[in-house]
Amino acid sequence: MGVLLIGPEADLQVKAVTRELEKRGVETALWDASSWPGDVPATVRHVGDQTSVSVADTEEIPAEYHTIYLRQLGFDARYPEFESELDERPLSVINQIREYRGLLLSAVKRLQDEGVRVINPPEAMSIHDLKPWQLSTLSAAGVPVPETCSTNDPDEVRTFANRVEDVIYKPVTGGGHAHRLEKDDLEDERLTRLANSPVQFQERIDGDDVRVFVVDGEAVAAARIVSDALDYRSVEHDVERIPLDSLDPEIERAACRAATQLELPFTGVDVIDGSDRFVVLEANPSPMFATFDELAGTRVADELAAFLADP
């Protein structure tokens, strides 16, 4: 019995976990999320009261694989591979993506119903797009989060900016960079553009970006991102491992609590560690960790593989 991985073959996380599982002698298989749309077969069949799933060359999954590592199902219209086709025939591409997603997600959920453990479960994966809900769930559980207002209403933004001195804004669903809210941003002309799409406005917290990886309820690694930029991802940055015995125990507890509240057996929790307080920004349901392991010497792939390997 082994572990099935779902994600693009070239993904660094998929590669690192496969390597660590193989080191442990665990059998692995991959549903390469980059093979679809394409001619790699995927079928869910119902005959009488029996349902069976066969995808790529994996059959008999419940018998052969006790666990799935769901790194990435794919089928997101924002991926660059869909760009040119989206220009030409947007509606049919969006429908095709939906159809593939519906089939493959059904396959994963069917396997889950049959007792295959899925890390992270599909329901938990979807919270990545629900950042306002994440923040409300975390704050209700006593995890400190920044003051935030997610809105498409210019008046709400002005009220927020009057009350909170230093404000950043970023997408509600992630995937963009955080920017400082400037005076010009509060002009009518600029704020009316909120009608196109709501935005997350948030109190800026001055401090270090810290990432805490949690596996099965326990912190297994932590790192500090070394950068002077507001959003470290916009520039080259370095990462430094924080040995777990020198991680602030309050931060460790908050990260574990975030993982539990959001029902994430595996997560990377983003924290800003300021001089007088810390806040949790989000818990990522499919965090990237390969670069942390490489640059900071953390051993997240190893810890995750140990968890996946043990049914």
**Contacts with ligand ATP, residue ranges (CB under 6 A):** 128, 146, 168, 170-171, 174-176, 178, 202-205, 209, 230-232, 270, 272, 281-282, 284
Instruction: Return the C-alpha torsion angle 123, 125, 126, 131, nearest 10.
Output: 130
- 292 interface partner picked from Mg ion, ligand ATP, none, CB below 5 to 8 A per type: none
- Of 62 and 144, the one with the shorter C-beta distance to ligand ATP is 144
170 binds, among ligand ATP, Mg ion, none (CB under 5 to 8 A by kind): ligand ATP
Question: Whole-angstrom Cα distance, residue 74 to residue 71?
Answer: 9
* Segment near Mg ion (CB under 5 A); pick from 69-77, 123-131, 196-204, 265-273: 265-273
Query: What one-character DSSP code corresponds to residue 60?
Result: S
Q: How far apart are CA 193 and CA 176, in angstroms?
A: 17
Residues 166-225 that bind Mg ion (CB under 5 A): none
Strands 117-119 and 65-70 turn out to be parallel
Query: Based on CB atoms, which residue is closest to ligand ATP, 119 or 168?
Result: 168
Residues forming a β-bridge with 54: 43
Select 32 or 270, whichever has its Cβ closest to Mg ion.
Answer: 270
The least distance separating Mg ion from the CB of residue 270, rounded to whole angstroms, comes to 5
To which H or E segment does residue 188 belong?
helix 188-191
- Shortest Cβ 265–ligand ATP spacing (Å): 19
Point out which span in 133-141, 154-162, 220-228, 270-278 binds Mg ion (CB under 5 A): 270-278
Look up residue 78 and give its DSSP letter.
T
Q: Which does 186 bind (CB under 5 to 8 A by kind): ligand ATP, Mg ion, none?
A: none
Residue 270 or 302 with smaller CB distance to Mg ion? 270
Residue 301 beta carbon to Mg ion: minimum distance, rounded to whole angstroms: 20
Which candidate, 212, 219, 222, 290, places its Cα nearest to that of 17? Answer: 290
* Residues 42/55, Cβ–Cβ less than 8 Å: yes
Q: Provide the minimum distance between the beta carbon of 239 and Mg ion in the complex, in angstroms, as a whole number.
A: 14
CB of residue 21 vs ligand ATP: minimum separation in angstroms?
Answer: 26
Residue 96 or 261: the one with the smaller Cβ distance to ligand ATP is: 261
CB of 135 to ligand ATP, least distance (A): 9
Q: What angle do CA 134, 235, 183 make, to 5 degrees?
A: 70
| Cis bond upstream, residue 37 (ω within 30) | yes
Provide the edge-to-edge strand list for the sheet that holds 167-170. Answer: 148-151, 199-203, 167-170, 179-180
Neighbours of 56 (CB within 10 A): 15
Question: Interface with Mg ion by CB under 5 A: which residues?
Answer: 270
